Structure formats: structure tokens, C-alpha cells
């Protein structure tokens, strides 16, 4: 059963687990379960995707209860007017505590041209776990708040790329 975080007459917010494909496509191969189909069965009604998350990515997925709402939300996601924030648990304690990672990402093919990508992060918390792994007597982890937006052009250094944190 999917974890529904919020629902009303127009929208459903679902906590999408990692490694669950959102919908059928050639990209997911022989997957047997799809979030959109599981949700339809769970609520007993039609639902429509407003956006997607990669199969390996966990997070909140917005699903519309009508085609019209899905179209309106889709326009907002495509127009980059939706503000997205990500919480990430990372190994180590990034320094400085707040910074920008500037690392161009590949397009749909690893060999193709890279796209400008910047991630602004802020370290929210740190923890040391007393578990010995290899030569380290304890493990360090940090909780980060990250924002990514798409650069409209090379001259547009103040905009950010929308994408999942990898």
C-alpha cells in the first residue's frame, strides 16, 4: 500500500519509494509494479501524473485527480515555476556548511554534451555513528537541504537546474 501524505478533491501527494517505477515505459524494462497503477487500485479512481521521479529516486510525487489539473500542474513544472527542495543524507560533513556545487551533468547519453548544473546546499545537522568500517572507528553523516534549478543559458548564472539529487 502506498503512503498517501495528502489528498483533496484535486490532488494526491504520494511518498514514492525508491526503485518503484512511476509508469510503464521502455526505460523501466520488465518492471512489474508501477506507482500510478498501484495508486489507481488503492483509491479506486482514475489519477493522472503531473510530473515524474526517476525509478531509483524516493520522494513526494504529486498526482492529479483530473486531466485538467494534471495539465495545469504539468505546465507549472515545465515552466519551472514550482520551487523544489530536497533533503539528503550524505556521507561525511561537507565543508563549508553552505555552498554551491558546480558540476555539469550529462544529457540522456553519457557521451553527449553536458548541461550546466549547480546545486546550492546548506548543512542542517551532523552525526557520528560509532560503527567501525575499515580504517574508520566511526562514520560521519550530514543532513543537507538542497535546491537545484535549470540554467536557461550559459549567461544565466543565477538560475539553477531542476533534477533529482544523485
Q: Which residues are catalytic?
A: 54
Tracing cell 524516493 back to the chain, one arrives at: 58
Could you give phi then psi for residue 91, rounded to 5 degrees?
-80, 135
Residue environment code for 11-41, b if the CB has 16+ CB neighbours within 10 A, otherwise e: bbebebeeebbbeeeeeeeeeeebbbeebee
Contact 74, 50 (CB under 8 A): yes
Three-state secondary structure call for residue 67: helix
Amino acid at each position: 500500500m502506498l503512503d498517501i501524505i495528502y489528498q483533496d478533491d484535486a490532488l494526491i501527494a504520494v511518498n514514492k519509494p525508491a526503485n518503484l517505477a512511476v509508469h510503464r515505459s521502455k526505460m523501466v524494462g520488465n518492471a512489474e509494479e508501477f506507482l500510478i497503477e498501484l495508486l489507481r487500485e488503492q483509491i479506486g479512481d482514475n489519477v493522472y501524473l503531473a510530473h515524474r521521479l526517476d525509478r531509483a529516486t524516493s520522494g513526494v510525487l504529486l498526482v492529479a485527480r483530473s486531466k485538467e489539473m494534471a495539465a495545469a500542474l504539468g505546465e507549472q513544472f515545465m515552466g519551472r515555476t514550482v520551487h523544489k527542495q530536497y533533503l539528503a543524507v550524505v556521507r561525511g560533513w561537507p565543508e563549508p556548511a553552505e555552498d554551491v556545487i558546480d558540476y555539469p551533468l550529462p544529457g540522456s547519453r553519457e557521451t553527449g554534451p553536458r548541461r550546466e548544473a549547480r546545486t546550492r546546499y546548506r548543512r542542517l545537522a551532523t552525526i557520528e555513528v560509532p560503527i567501525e568500517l575499515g580504517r574508520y572507528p566511526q562514520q560521519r553523516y550530514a543532513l543537507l537541504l538542497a535546491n537545484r534549478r535549470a540554467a536557461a543559458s550559459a549567461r544565466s548564472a543565477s538560475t539553477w537546474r531542476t533534477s533529482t539529487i544523485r
